[in-house]
């Protein structure tokens, strides 16, 4: 299968993960509302925006050089734009979880999930800044860009892997609070969501590796 065909699978797994995530949050987890007085509705903004930003849009941005028609400069602009949108969504998503913790009087950054997530967020911002200075501004010379490109690509793939790890540990952490029967249907939904997220990340990684 070609890299373009695998990118189609990546799109499929990404959209499937979004649908499953929305079904879970809207049907089983009381809905999504940033300004709600109900803490769980505020919290639900977090998993949705973090997946949309740091996994889905980041992955789409990484594949943009293959999937977006047009000149390289156009693809580069789409790549950088999708990643800055991801950062904005991530800021709102992180604020939502801190807001929920404040509402529920829960300590911040106490879990492995939160440690991986906050480190990923910080490195993601540095990666975007590094890419903008090196590849978008006119100051960097061609040889410098050629030298830095493999490191930029490797860093992006590592950050996508870290973001997927954060999502999976977050889903596992949430599953602990769901319990078993009579909630097995919800747990299965969470498991399928995690699989879709994992397969999206794997597919994106293959596409970037083949490009």
* Per-residue pLDDT at 139 exceeds 80: no
Omega into 182 within 30° of 0, i.e. cis? yes
Q: What is the pTM of this model?
A: 0.93
Domain region containing 197? 3-210
Tell me how far apart the alpha carbons of residues 29 and 140 are, in angstroms, rounded to a whole number.
48
* Per-residue pLDDT at 145 exceeds 90: no
- Return the pLDDT at 143: 82
Mean pLDDT of the chain: 92
Largest alpha-carbon pair distance within the chain?
61
The total number of structural domains that make up the chain: 1
- Return the pLDDT at 78: 93
Question: pLDDT band at 183, cuts 50/70/90?
Answer: confident
Q: Average pLDDT for residues 141-147, to the nearest whole number? A: 82
Angle at 50 between CA 179 and CA 119, to 5 degrees: 100
Question: pLDDT band at 67, cuts 50/70/90?
Answer: confident
Residue 103 belongs to domain with CATH number:
1.20.120.1770
């Amino acid at each position: 299968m070609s890299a373009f065909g695998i990118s189609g699978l990546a799109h499929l797994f990404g959209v499937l993960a979004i649908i499953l995530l929305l079904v879970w949050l809207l049907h089983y987890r009381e809905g999504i509302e940033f300004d709600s007085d109900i803490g769980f509705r505020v919290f639900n903004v977090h998993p949705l925006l973090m997946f949309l930003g740091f996994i889905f849009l980041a992955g789409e941005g990484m594949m943009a050089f293959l999937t977006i028609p047009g000149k390289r400069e156009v693809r580069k602009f789409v790549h950088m734009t999708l990643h800055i949108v991801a950062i904005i969504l991530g800021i709102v998503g992180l604020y939502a979880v801190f807001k929920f913790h404040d509402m529920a009087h829960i300590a911040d950054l106490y879990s492995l999930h939160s440690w991986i997530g906050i480190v990923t967020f910080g490195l993601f911002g540095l990666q975007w800044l590094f890419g903008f200075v090196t590849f978008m501004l006119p100051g960097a010379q061609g040889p410098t860009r050629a030298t830095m490109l493999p490191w930029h690509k490797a860093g992006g793939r590592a950050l996508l892997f870290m973001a997927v790890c954060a999502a999976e540990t977050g889903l596992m952490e949430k599953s602990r609070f769901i319990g078993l029967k009579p909630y097995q249907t919800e747990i299965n939904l969470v498991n399928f969501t995690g699989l879709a997220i994992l397969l999206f990340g794997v597919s994106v990684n293959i596409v970037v590796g083949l490009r």
